[in-house]
């Protein structure tokens, strides 16, 4: 019984988060404090995805700093992103660094 309650609650929560921003119940313009907070959402979400992918080992689950090829690739990708402002070039440069360093190991 509790599984069904969890499924229904999760479904309602998911529907609410998808429906409310598009519904006529929402005001035309969001308050200033909310607009300011929304500017930080993409950075925080991407950081929460990318930082663990770079620093946490897939094998052990621990933070790995030494002999971590992903850190080098991330640093190169940051510089390429800063100077090129191109998502495709940034991704290709990061992948290239990982491939080259893996090949050289």
Q: Which of 46, 105, 103 is nearest to 77 (CA)?
A: 46
Other C-beta atoms lying within 10 Å of the C-beta of residue 93: 19
**Do 16 and 59 sit in the same domain of this protein?**
no
Residue 77 lies in a domain: yes
Residue 40 has pLDDT above 90, yes or no: yes
Position 34 scores a pLDDT of 84
Residue 35 lies in a domain: no
Mean pLDDT of the 13-18 span? 91
The residue length of the chain stands at 105
Structural domains of the chain, count:
2
**Do 51 and 87 sit in the same domain of this protein?**
yes
Residue 34 lies in a domain: no
pTM for the full predicted model:
0.66
Mean pLDDT of the 79-99 span? 96
Residue 1 has pLDDT above 70, yes or no: no
DSSP state of 53: H
Lowest average pLDDT, out of 2-11, 14-23, 91-100, goes to 14-23
- Domain interval for residue 5: 1-29
Mean pLDDT of the 5-9 span? 95
């Amino acid at each position: 019984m509790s599984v069904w309650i969890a499924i229904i609650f999760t479904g309602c929560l998911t529907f609410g988060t998808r429906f409310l921003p598009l519904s006529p119940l929402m005001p035309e313009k969001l308050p200033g404090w909310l607009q300011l907070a929304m500017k930080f959402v993409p950075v925080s979400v991407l950081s929460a995805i990318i930082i663990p992918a770079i620093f946490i080992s897939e094998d052990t689950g621990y933070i790995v700093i030494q002999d971590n090829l992903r850190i080098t690739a991330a640093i190169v990708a940051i510089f390429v992103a800063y100077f090129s402002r191109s998502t495709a070039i940034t991704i290709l440069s990061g992948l290239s660094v990982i491939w080259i360093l893996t090949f050289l190991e």
